[in-house]
Amino acid sequence: MQFSVPATSRTQHHPAFGPSQPRAEIAARFGGDCQWSRLNRPTGCVQFSISSLVVLDDCQSAYNGLTDTVNETFHQREALFLKSVPWGSDLWAVANRHADRVAVRDLAGEIRYAELFRKAAALAQALRQSGVATGEPVATFFRNGIAAVYAHYGVMLSGAADVPINPALSGADVRTCLEIAKARRVVTSRHLAPLFAREGIEVVCAEDVGEADFARDDFPPLPADALARVVFTSGTTGLPKGAAHDQEARWIANILLRASLPHAPRPASRVLLMTPFAHGSSLMTMAYHGGGATVTLHDGVDAQIVLPLIARGEVDEIFAPPTVLSKLVDAAGEKSYPGLKTIFCGTAVLPPTLYQRARRVFGAVVRVTYGKSEVFNPITVLEAHETDAWYTENEMDADACVGWTAPGVEIMVRTEDGRTAAPGEPGEVLIRARHLMRGYLRTDGFEPLPADGFHDTGDLGYFDRHGRLHLTGRIAEMIKTGGYKVSPEEVERALAPAVAPSTIAALGIPSEYWGQIIIVAVERPRPGWLERIEQAARALTGYKRPRAFIALDDLPRNGIGKIRRASIRDYVNENYRLADGPHPRLEPRAHPVAGP
């Protein structure tokens, strides 16, 4: 028999649903509204089953009494459980259970769990002894490698808020991140330390900290609502901004990520990560370490190293967003590399042409997820067999289907007039979750989430009739031409097969006559490309046809591999003049500048 018990007491008493002293302190530190957003969730029920029930004359009284008991139990348990997060005891168990196993490999060597966490404990103690307070932002700045991992755990154990900064950022962007986060300390490696030789920044070199014993009770539980991590967005459409996550959200996200993996991490698991540790690689590392797996970290993609690793069976899962996957497939040539269980793919749209090439090389093992800096992965999941079915059934017409909503996440698609979109109807994608950020840190202070707790992603998409989410573009990147709105991704999907394996990028440039005109940049095209792509463009609806095509040696990308259309636009404006009118064309300038 099932009872449905109203869960109102949970939403009323959970610390995430209202302001608290630690959150007020955080808001005071960064400026802005000190009232953290109150997540007004829809009324829900907690369901449970009873295998046997004594039949009473007054069943309603029995039900009411049981309801009161269950609600009170939930209230008491959550009041105790969700006030703190026990990272110290969690990581102590990992360190001791898997002490002699290899935790991390990089191109310089390897480190076992016991040594890794002794280094992390030493760093955590050094930070606390230097006066770092719970929730105080401490930046980490590392190339991929062993030191990045123990620094990550050390900052976490200390109770500080980890502010990972991607070393691929420009010096100006790094300074912006430090200023927004108000980080006065940076943990980095010796060879990167000189970059921070300026007044007001205390530099801690990870290699100088040494090791310390790691006892179970050395690092007490942390307040669940203390600032835990500030993740800077990729900045493809503006200045970086920091997504502020608290300890509860970070803890929940780690559990959900581990639970959603297609193969539960075990001591025999071996995952290869090549994207910046400051972003998704750190989350994947922690999820796999929870099961005692070995994580191999490479600082970028060297296909001449990676493909032999796969061929020898030394890794069984890899994270390869489209940029990485394309490099591996190009290097593989006509060879196939079976043996991988999973290729995790995300951060950007997976073109149908690239999927088909990857399938030929690696098999039907590509798994697509949708994630953002604002909520730790995953938001949606399309498992490998589902990905294969989608791209096989739809071939070159396959759009960016990213799958079904992951556990713990709510997704709403909202139309321009504010309605909840019907299946197949496009709109802006909004998300809400217990592990969602609590707001943005910007140059002018802290910006909390809206009162309803939903985050406007800036992504456009729709749900299909099966409940899968499809992404169609970014609001900020939509092209407005001749009174129409055109998605760059739609143009790219239609034209990419004509110039495969080259990558293309569609964008709009200003036009007085049209508002914007569509142009397409092609990366390292092969001979005859222009004729082929112009022929493919003639099949498009008139207002979706590009007015010009340019070739570039490399498309500009940010630190996590996303194409920077704004940089292409700047390059075009500097190197070409638009001859505007009903039949616009690009004319090269007399003195071109270097590529974007």
What pairs with residue 430 in β-bridges?
412, 456
Query: Percent of the chain beyond pLDDT 70?
Result: 84
Would you say residue 186 has pLDDT above 80? yes
pLDDT tier for residue 164 given thresholds of 50, 70 and 90: very high
Model pLDDT, residue 29: 59
Q: What angle do CA 87, 129, 289 make, to 5 degrees?
A: 25
At residue 473, the pLDDT reads 86
pLDDT over 80 (residue 38): no
Token pair of 8 as six digits: 């109102």
pLDDT band at 561 (very low <50, low <70, confident <90, very high): confident
What is the pLDDT at residue 376?
80
Average pLDDT, the chain: 86
Q: pLDDT digit string (tens) for 323-379?
A: 899 999 999 999 999 999 999 998 788 889 899 999 999 999 999 999 998 998 789
- Per the model's pLDDT, the better-predicted residue between 29 and 166 turns out to be 166
Q: Where are the beta strands (DSSP E) in 397-493?
A: 400-405, 409-414, 427-433, 439-442, 445-448, 455-463, 469-474, 479-481, 484-486
pLDDT of residue 347: 79
Is the pLDDT score of 56 beyond 70? no
Place of tokens 């589902």: 386
Confidence at residue 63, expressed as pLDDT on a 0 to 100 scale: 41
Residue 286 to residue 283: CA distance in whole angstroms: 5
Q: Cα–Cα distance between 542 and 546 in angstroms, integer?
A: 9
Residue 234 banded pLDDT, cuts 50, 70, 90: low
Supply the pLDDT for residue 238.
63
Span 261-288, average pLDDT: 95
Residues 6+ apart with CB under 8 A from 427: 413, 414, 415, 416, 419, 421, 460, 461, 462
What ranges do the domains of the chain cover?
A: 2-82, 478-588
Q: Which of 50-59, 156-165, 491-500, 551-560 has the lowest mean pLDDT?
A: 50-59
The fold adopted by the segment(s) 478-588 is: GMP Synthetase; Chain A, domain 3 (3.30.300)
Tell me the backbone φ, ψ of residue 132, rounded to 5 degrees.
Answer: -65, 130
| Predicted pLDDT of residue 397 | 77
pLDDT tens by residue, 435-481: 999 999 998 899 999 999 999 999 999 999 999 999 988 888 899 99
Whether residue 423 is predicted with pLDDT greater than 50 in this model: the reply is yes
d(CA 586, CA 278): 39
Separation CA 177–CA 288 (nearest Å): 28
Residue 147 has pLDDT above 80, yes or no: yes
Tokens of 114: 């016991």
Provide the 3-class DSSP secondary structure of residue 477: helix
Contacts made by residues 526-532, CB under 8 angstroms, sequence distance 24+: 526/499, 526/502, 529/498, 529/499, 529/502, 532/498, 532/499
Distance, CA of 152 to CA of 123 (rounded, Å): 10
Res 26: pLDDT: 57
H/E stretch holding 78: helix 59-81
Distance CA 533, CA 541 (A): 15
Which residue, 556, 374, 449, is CA-closest to 41?
449
CB atoms within 10 A of CB 579: 10
The b-or-e profile of 155-180 (16+ CB within 10 A means b, else e) is bbbbbbbbbbbbbbbeeebbebbbeb
- pLDDT, average across residues 254-271: 95
Regarding pTM above 0.85, the answer is no
DSSP assignment string, 246-294: EHHHHHHHHHHHHHHSSS---TT-EEEE-S-IIIIIHHHHHHHHTTT-E
As a whole number, mean pLDDT of residues 3-18 equals 32
pLDDT of residue 271 exceeding 60, the answer is: yes
Q: What is the pLDDT of residues 217-233, one digit of tens each?
A: 999 999 999 999 999 98
The pairing of strands 469-474 and 455-463 is antiparallel
Q: What percent of the chain has pLDDT over 90?
A: 70
Check residue 20 and give its pLDDT. Answer: 39
pLDDT: is 567 or 42 the higher one? 567
Q: Tell me: the pLDDT tens digits for 506-518?
A: 999 999 889 899 9
Mean pLDDT calculated for residue range 99-124: 98
80, with CB counted inside 10 A (0-12, 13-18, 19+), is exposed
pLDDT in the model for residue 104:
99
pLDDT of 13 over the 60 cut:
no
- Residue-level pLDDT at 16: 33
Q: Which H or E run includes 51? A: none
For position 168, what pLDDT does the model report?
Answer: 86
The whole-number average pLDDT for the span 277-291 is: 95
